[in-house]
């Protein structure tokens, strides 16, 4: 089973969207048993002082619902150094996430950390819709990348 982690700043918008989009695509392709998808944050910005993560942003939930992507309850959590060994591939949404992740995991000796759009041959970032409000563009970019991940790793 291929274990894939999606990472963004707070784990309430882009990375959980990627997790649920990838799960849905894998299920529809009959590949659900071949993949494990998860998502985490590079920061504690969406985790309260008692250690409880905030739920997925309501706008992300609305976008997934609009697109017919099922999702379950999700609470933000932060990447830990040990996650590097737990996952086969780690995809970050933007350059800042990539640099933060690299700092948390103390480098990438096995070369399994990537920006998500690199699977499509792009070095571009997926802009944070929490700031921009553009959940449609984020959804489209994430969806295309998740399709490519399944094609490349099945």
What CATH class has 2-153? alpha beta
Can 45 be counted among the known catalytic residues?
no
> Could you give the percent of the chain with pLDDT greater than 70?
100
Angle at 70 between CA 67 and CA 73, to 5 degrees: 125
Looking at residue 154, its pLDDT comes to 77
d(CA 39, CA 79): 9
Mean pLDDT, rounded, of the chain: 97
Query: Would residue 151 show up in a list of annotated catalytic residues for this protein?
Result: no
92 flagged as catalytic:
no
**pLDDT-derived band of residue 89, with 50, 70 and 90 as boundaries?**
very high
Question: Choosing from 24, 57, 83, 128, which is the catalytic residue?
Answer: 128
Q: What is the pLDDT of residue 133?
A: 96
Give residue-wise pLDDT tens across range 73-84: 999 999 999 999
Render pLDDT for 95-129 as a digit per residue (tens, 0 to 9).
999 999 999 999 999 999 999 999 999 999 999 99
Q: Which of 13, 14, 24, 94 does the annotation list as catalytic? A: 14
Contact 4, 39 (CB under 8 A): no
pTM of the predicted protein model: 0.97
Catalytic residue among 8, 13, 92, 146: 8
């Amino acid at each position: 089973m291929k274990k894939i982690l999606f990472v963004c700043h707070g784990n309430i918008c882009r990375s959980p969207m990627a997790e649920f989009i990838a799960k849905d695509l894998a299920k529809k392709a009959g590949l659900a048993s071949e993949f494990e998808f998860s998502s985490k944050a590079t920061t504690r910005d969406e985790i309260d002082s008692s250690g409880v993560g905030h739920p997925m942003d309501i706008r992300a939930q609305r976008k997934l619902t609009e697109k017919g992507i099922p999702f379950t309850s999700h609470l933000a959590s932060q990447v830990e150094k040990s996650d590097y060994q737990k996952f086969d591939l780690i995809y970050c949404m933007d350059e800042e996430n990539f640099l933060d992740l690299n700092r948390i995991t103390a480098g990438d000796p096995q070369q399994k950390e990537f920006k998500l759009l690199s699977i499509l041959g792009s070095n571009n970032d997926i802009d944070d819709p929490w700031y921009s409000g553009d959940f449609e563009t984020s959804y489209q970019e994430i969806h295309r990348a998740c399709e490519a991940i399944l094609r490349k790793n099945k």
